[in-house]
Structure 1
Amino acid sequence: MPTTEARRPLASRGTRWARAIASALASSRVTPNQISMVSIVFAALGAWFLVEWPSPAGLVLAAVCVQLRLACNLFDGMVAIEGGKQSATGALYNELPDRIADSLFIVALGYAIGLPWLGWLGALLAALTAYVRATGGALGFAQDFRGPMAKPHRMAVLTLGCLAAAIEVALAGSLHALLVAAVVIAAGSAITCVTRTRAIAAQLRAAGQGP
């Protein structure tokens, strides 16, 4: 895991249940890097549900996998920092599994609605939001986690899309909710790239590094 300055601000870190689970994990032999890797497993499973079993039950399970992936993202950092189990490779494992998990979910979303190009576009733009954030950090600024479609927002949209689609499939046999989710994720990620880039440019200008 990176230092606390590079952590995404999450209100859930201060909840009693999160602290209790993180404490139990920190006391075990589980490492933060292992938790990060498990997030990919949940993402792959959720992607399978989206593409291969888009039934009401499958879509609910996909939504559960999204939340389990986010839980891994929460606990890897808490175990590393609050639990004192940081490692030399933590920053690497903090980023790469996230990019893989994002891509698995969003690409699968495109295939689930019969529009693979939209899933790939959404995944590319989601990865680009992280690239822009990391670029700001590489330039010496605090990493910018603003939205409107940062990772938690993307996963919230996907979760709601899956749950809405589960009801929609049961009632009408269609998946329009997933289409809406895919469009919102792609468009919102594009806007996020712009907002983060403009913020970095403003910081560079303020630092006197050119117009």
Structure 2
Amino acid sequence: MISVYQLKPKFQQLLRPLVNGLANKGATANEVTVFAMLLSVVTGTAIVISNSLLALLALPIVLLTRMALNAIDGMLAREHNQQSKLGAYLNEIGDVISDLFLILPLLIIPDINLWLLATFAFVALLTEFAGVLGVLVEAERQYQGPMGKSDRALVLGLIGLLVPLFALPTVYLNAALTVAIILSVWTVINRIRAAL
């Protein structure tokens, strides 16, 4: 199944010089992980407090930055001997917190279906939970799509761009959330099947 996650190797190649530079300066994977989480929390909170649709334009920028930081922390851990049990916890918990705080700003969109938004947030958590459970059943951490972390970032980034700039009608937004929920459920099933 096609997923934005499949672009990760090329994305990592672009980031490798930056990662090497950060490692040489003593940056740690855990520091990058925590920074990515805090960036998401601050951004999501600021957008909700502002209650301005124009503030949603921060979403695509922060989501792209977050994806880069997620790749960087993984590369620092694997390629610069920084893997740790604490890092594994920070990575998974940080991803879940970041997801929630970057979905939260959609609350400010007038007439958005709150049940659909809450369901999207719930299945986002469920997809990551299903991925992590792969390790529990003696398989690997599962990353299958079609609505993994990178795909959610793309969807949220597009919403953050289209709603303020093009006044995307709410009916289309609710339809997009419905499709994203269905794809998320499919992702959970794919990850469970792959682990089994």
> Which TM-score bucket, shorter chain as reference?
0.7 to 0.9
Asked if 1 retains the 8 angstrom alpha-carbon contact of 2:29 and 2:73, the reply is yes
Structure-2 residue corresponding to 1:65: 62
Higher RCO by CA contacts (8 Å cutoff, separation 6 or greater): 2
Between the aligned partners of 1:192 and 1:71, the Cα distance in structure 2 is 22
Asked if 2 retains the 8 angstrom alpha-carbon contact of 1:168 and 1:175, the reply is no
Structure 1, gaps ≥5 residues long: 1-7, 204-211
Structure-2 residue corresponding to 1:134: 132
Task: Give the length in aligned residue pairs.
Answer: 189
Q: How does 1:159-174 map to 2 (within 5 A)?
A: 159-169=157-167
Q: Which amino acid aligns with 2:150?
A: P
Asked if 1 retains the 8 angstrom alpha-carbon contact of 2:33 and 2:69, the reply is yes
Compute the TM-score of the two structures, normalised by the length of structure 1.
0.77
Q: By how many angstroms is 1:136 displaced?
A: 1.9
Say which one has the larger Rg: 1
Asked if 2 retains the 8 angstrom alpha-carbon contact of 1:46 and 1:66, the reply is no
Between the aligned partners of 1:85 and 1:143, the Cα distance in structure 2 is 18
Q: By how many angstroms is 1:48 displaced?
A: 3.5
Q: Which amino acid aligns with 2:188?
A: C
Asked if 2 retains the 8 angstrom alpha-carbon contact of 1:165 and 1:177, the reply is no
Q: Which amino acid aligns with 1:182?
A: L
Structure-2 residue corresponding to 1:158: 156
Q: By how many angstroms is 1:53 displaced?
A: 4.3
Q: CA distance change for structure 1 residues 20 and 176 in 2, over 3 Å: closer, same or farther? A: farther
The answer to whether the aligner puts 1:32 opposite 2:18 as a matched pair is: no
Q: CA distance change for structure 1 residues 188 and 50 in 2, over 3 Å: closer, same or farther? A: farther
Between the aligned partners of 2:24 and 2:172, the Cα distance in structure 1 is 41
Q: By how many angstroms is 1:197 displaced?
A: 2.5
Structure 2, gaps ≥5 residues long: none
The answer to whether the aligner puts 1:98 opposite 2:95 as a matched pair is: yes
Between the aligned partners of 1:117 and 1:176, the Cα distance in structure 2 is 14
RMSD: 2.4
Q: CA distance change for structure 1 residues 106 and 182 in 2, over 3 Å: closer, same or farther? A: farther
Match of 2:193 among 192, 198, 202: 198
Partner SS, residue 29 of structure 1: coil
Segment of structure 1 superposing worse, 35-44 or 90-99: 35-44
Q: How does 1:12-51 map to 2 (within 5 A)?
A: 12-15=10-13, 17-48=14-45, 50-51=47-48
Alignment deviations for residues 89-128 of structure 1 (CA, whole Å, 9 cap, x no partner): 1111111100100111123324535433332221111111
Between the aligned partners of 2:44 and 2:172, the Cα distance in structure 1 is 16
